[in-house]
Chains A and B, each alone.
Chain A
Amino acid sequence: MSDLVAAGLDMTFPMPDGDSVHALKDVSFTLKQGELLSVLGPSGCGKTTLLNLIAGFLLPTGGSLSLGGEEINGPGVNRGMVFQQGALFEWLTVAENVDFGLRMKGMKKRQTRGKVEEWLEIVGLQGFGDTPTYQLSGGMQQRVALARCLINDPDLILMDEPLGALDALTREKMQSLVLKIWKETGKTIMIITHSVEEALLLGERLFVMAPRPGRLHKEYHLPFAEWGLQKDLRDVKAEPEFSANRDEILSMIWNMEEEIMGGNA
């Protein structure tokens, strides 16, 4: 089983002025295959750093990280990444973006065509294969980014505030899409967000992180993702349990922010 295991992760950034930033301190958790994890926390608490460590873009200054028993020491195709702003290759068409990973493995365009069509349909972009990506709206660009990541069949999908730049309506649709993909593919997904509602909706498990130094503050196990697969997301949000959880987490984060402000004053 390809579980993600983080043990005593520590990350310190040296600063040019000789100081150092302690971005993560003693982060340990295990993410089982097929789990849906959302990570929430005030800005600057090390969410992106944690994700970059898992993706292999950064190497931890302490502790260890492994996926399926293999130590992570660099980027790899078993971990797919979706960024806040698509990070699409704007010189390529939608189809060329989607099959980028396959082509890097040496496959020819005509070999990948079928798979590309398939994935475009799943993310709701059938017929857009030949469109240049710069002509797409923000939501469509994120769909392309999703398809581009999924076509590589990674064990773990990492998303860094993937819906942060979208308007409310598009965002809701994308949330459903993420849930649908999670259900249908059974992939492990770790999603970072700064929206409490989104974290509740898109998290079987939810980590709340605290800043200075960044660490795991609290963990929740939530039913809303499962509900969201059966019901309309808006109905899920209307549930009293949902509001209770939301208020609790909101005030927790609020207190953290207060502390930061207070500490600064």
Chain B
Amino acid sequence: MSPETVRLIVGVLFVLLVLSFVGSIVYGRKVVRTEVTDAVFGNPVRALGGWYWVITGVCSILLLWFYFSWDAARAYFPNSANEMCQVARVDSELNALRSSFPMQSRLLRSTSFLDREGTQIENARRQISKSDIDPALRDQYLAAADTVQAMLLTRASAESLSAENKTAIDELARKIDEATARLADPAFPGPATEAEIKAAAEQPAWGEGVKKEIPDIPNTDRGRKFLKISEEMSAITADFTKIRNLDDDFIAEVKSLSDELKGLQTSGDDAEETKTLTKSLDKILKRIDDGNIFPPAALDPIENAMKRFNAEQSEQKGSLKILDALAFPGGEIRAGSTACTEQGSGRWLPKPSDTLTSLIEISDPTVGFKTVPLLWYEWKPASEMLAFFIPDWVADLVPGEYPRHTASGVIDANLKTKVLNFATGNYPSFSIPVPAGHLWDSIMRVLAGLFLGIVLGVPLGLFMGLSRFAKGFFDPLIELYRPVPPLAWAPLILTIFGINDDGKIFLLFMVAFAIMVISARTGATGTQLSKIHAAHSLGASNRQIIRKVILPNSLPEILTGIRIAIGVCWGTLVAAEMLAGTTGIGFIENVARKQSNYEIIWVTIILLGLLGLLFDLIMRWIINRTIPWRGKG
């Protein structure tokens, strides 16, 4: 699907969602008003029905998703992101300049430097006073600290600013004003060139291509204007960072003081301490040497020019400001060195349309994920299928010996060979289609683990509910392993059984087994004695009582246990697949995580949720069908 089609679908869908959201609320309120409601609070009947509130809930989730992932913004304002990208470039170029003034930061940069270095010098003084070096030496250090402070303070005096710096500052302010004028000029930068138009048209659209980032070649006049200004601002910022409040005298002074400090270092007992003291004062000196502290009003021309520029930039952004606030919630578009990127929820919350596209992409059996389809079928020889159920050792049971090759190198097959071939599926046969793929693998693992858990757990649970020996003997075994989180077992089990299906199925079996044992046991112990008495006096044998009375009587607990076990197995499986393996939905998520492919991660999350819900619905249906008497006995 082309990006345009996707945008169109998203756009229509968004409107439909808003309409159903509003519609269902209106309908719901109408129903509330017309309904003859029971005035008794706490009556559970009040919670029955209300499909319209389901619609409201689903719509609001989807709307939030569309909105905060900026899918709606992409559908309705695909060009605005491109324009905002250009604005972001201006902002990114001006970052250094603006943070020198109370625009992006609270304090003027010189002010905060002075403040910080003052504190540093104070700390150094304290360090010197506390040190147990020779008192004379200590005095010398204190004197040096005083000098450093004095030098720091000279930078704040108006005289420190050199004439060249004054002109450079005025020159820069003028350049900024010129840029501001161009920004305000409706004719700037003139019509786009053929090349520019072509480049803009050929770039991938927003959400298209591998990186799915925002197209960064401007395709509107406003965008081109901001791009041009950002280039200008890049030069201005470079010039600005070159202006340093330094002169030769000052540099020489710093140098000599630094030398003096090095001279104070002694080599005797105080060697270590003097070294640190010199270092801490020297560090402050090095920073003063950067010339970042200016007299209070020295940079005013630039600051004022910047204020005018900011006002004009805001003016020129115009409708973009509102768009930015309304259509791009929870983040902003930021210009990096190479591309413009979404930041905030637009980045980490995958867009519904991208998620669906990813899902459709990997649902294609010829593509799949890592060459394995999501859910498809493959042709397998029927012999292999059959061999799966026949253990190979049946061949060993056949009397006789396996054949040896003769001197001429011929191997004569005997009955044993034939049975072995049959057991291993090593004979020609027709092929049958069998389901395959990541989802199928995951589901089969859960079902296999669950099946084993039920088949072994239910009888043991019933036995434990009926026999003191069984309860006493097995209780400690089960109660000791059950509270351990399944994932704590995973490394051990995957080592023993291998990373293929065996290990995972065994892990799931362990999880399901404990749950099934406990629920079957609860069911068995909960059988009313009178029912068992009745069955006895109707002539039932012990076996019949277990099969015809205790088992059906425990069905509610057993089915509830299965329902819980499915949920827990599902969760455990995904975690186990993340640890090891090459197929399964957890494997997909793990690979996607390593690739930072948020769309695929989101796809797996949604698939997991939907499949879990499906399992639960099936279980609920089975429960309603098989034990309708529950709660009515």
Contacts and interface: CB of A to CB of B under 8 A. Distances in A.
Contacts of B555: 91
B531 to A, nearest CB: 5
B334 to A, nearest CB: 65
A188 to B, nearest CB: 15
A75 B536 CA distance: 6
A55 B541 CA distance: 16
Contact of B548 (A104, A132, A154): A104
Given A90-B629, A90-B633, A104 B538 contact: yes
A101 B628 contact: no
A104 B547 CA distance: 11
A101 B533 contact: no
A13 interface: no
B485 to A, nearest CB: 36
Contacts of A80: 537-538
B530 A85 contact: yes
A76 interface: yes
A39 interface: no
Interface in A90-134: 90-91, 100-101, 104-105, 132-134
Nearest to B556: A91
Given A75-B537, A101-B539, A104-B544, A89 B531 contact: yes
Which one of A75, A79, A83 has the greatest number of beta carbons of chain B within 10 Å? Answer: A75
Contacts of B204: none
Contact of B538 (A56, A83, A101): A101
Interface residues of B, number: 23
Nearest to B533: A57
Contact count band on A: 20 to 34
Contacts of A91: 552-553, 555, 627, 629
B480 to A, nearest CB: 28
B540 interface: yes
A85 B535 CA distance: 14
Nearest to B549: A89
Contacts of B119: none
B534 interface: yes
Nearest to B534: A87
A57 B633 contact: no
Contacts of A100: 535, 538, 540, 548
Contacts of B549: 89
A259 B555 CA distance: 47
Interface in B501-550: 528, 530-531, 533-541, 544, 548-549
Contacts of A81: 533-534, 537
A21 interface: no
B468 interface: no
A2 interface: no
B632 interface: yes
A87 B627 contact: no
Nearest to A79: B537
A252 to B, nearest CB: 30
Interface in B288-328: none
B544 A132 contact: no
A148 interface: yes
A56 B536 CA distance: 10
A133 B548 CA distance: 16
Nearest to A81: B537
Which one of B536, B544, B632 has the greatest number of beta carbons of chain A within 10 Å? Answer: B536
A251 B501 CA distance: 77
A152 B533 contact: no
A238 B462 CA distance: 54
A58 to B, nearest CB: 10
Given A90-B632, A132-B628, A83 B530 contact: yes
Contacts of A133: 629
A105 B534 contact: no
A118 to B, nearest CB: 17
A100 B541 CA distance: 12
A77 interface: yes
Interface string A143-174: 00100110010100000000000000000000
A76 B540 CA distance: 9
B544 A77 contact: no
B552 A77 contact: no
The 4 closest A-B pairs by CB, nearest first: A101-B538, A75-B536, A87-B530, A77-B539
Given A55-B537, A81-B537, A104-B539, 4 more contacts: A56-B536, A75-B537, A83-B534, A149-B538
6 contacts: A79-B537, A80-B537, A81-B537, A101-B539, A104-B538, A149-B538
Interface of A: 55-57, 75-77, 79-81, 83, 85, 87, 89-91, 100-101, 104-105, 132-134, 145, 148-149, 152, 154
